[in-house]
Amino acid sequence: MNITLLLVFIPTFFFVSITPGMCMTLALSMGMSIGLKKTFYMMYGELLGVGLVATSSVIGVATIMLKYPTIFLFLKYGGGAYLAYLGIQMWMSKGKMALKLDNSCSFEISKKSLAMQGFVTAIANPKGWAFFIALLPPFIDDSLPMISQLPILILMILTLEFLCLIIYASGGSTLRKILQDSSNVRLINKIAGTLMIGIGVWLASS
């Protein structure tokens, strides 16, 4: 690996990753609604999706995907509609992800569903594919074997992405605790639900 390129890549990708986007907003919303610990399952799915997108971008699959945008339609509209549906339920203090008005901590949505939400959000955004196509090539040294560089870059991407997701989810979880101490459960649900609806619309319209 070209160390000079790697040292430039790390702060560059961290700056881009920490910027609010679909996945970070999703982490913030889930941190508020279900807490940091359970949000990790969404993060696992999101990281799997990011790894897939980044790897595919390097080997050229993303170029094909971008030429045929209809491939994204099912994931975009289906995933966006589902996230918006969850957001509406949360806004109304109903559904599996909403905090209960009696302050109970019941949690019904499955770990698999959380991971799938993160995965779909990561791979269904055409802008994410385009971003990796533009970002990764400049940091690959043509004089060195691709097989040695790609794993290192992907590892750095996933590590930085995971760190940023934790920051956003922790912020949401902290806000949840502050508001919950004041018994503002409905307000938590409305804020988290509004964010979730926004992510769904954003995903479907991107």
On whether residue 181 sits in a domain, the answer given is yes
Q: Which residues make Cβ contacts (< 8 Å) with residue 65, sequence separation at least 6?
A: 56, 71, 72, 126, 129
- 53 domain-assigned: yes
What residue numbers bound the domain in which 69 lies?
Answer: 29-99+106-204
Entry pTM? 0.73
Task: Say if 123 falls within a structural domain.
Answer: yes
78 found inside a domain: yes
Residue 12 domain-assigned (yes or no):
no
State the pLDDT at residue 205.
75
* Rounded Cα–Cα distance for residues 16 and 160 (Å): 10
Q: Is residue 1 part of a domain?
A: no
pLDDT in tens, 63-97: 565 566 666 576 667 767 877 887 787 787 776 55
- Model pLDDT for residues 160-190, shown as the tens digit of each residue: 999 999 999 998 888 877 776 655 667 777 7
User: Does the residue 20 lie in any domain?
Assistant: no
Q: How many domains does the chain have?
A: 1
Query: Which of 55-69, 85-99, 147-161 has the largest mean confidence?
Result: 147-161
Within a domain: 6: no
Identify the pLDDT of residue 104: 47
Asked if pLDDT for residue 62 goes beyond 70, the answer is no
Residue 74: per-residue pLDDT: 67
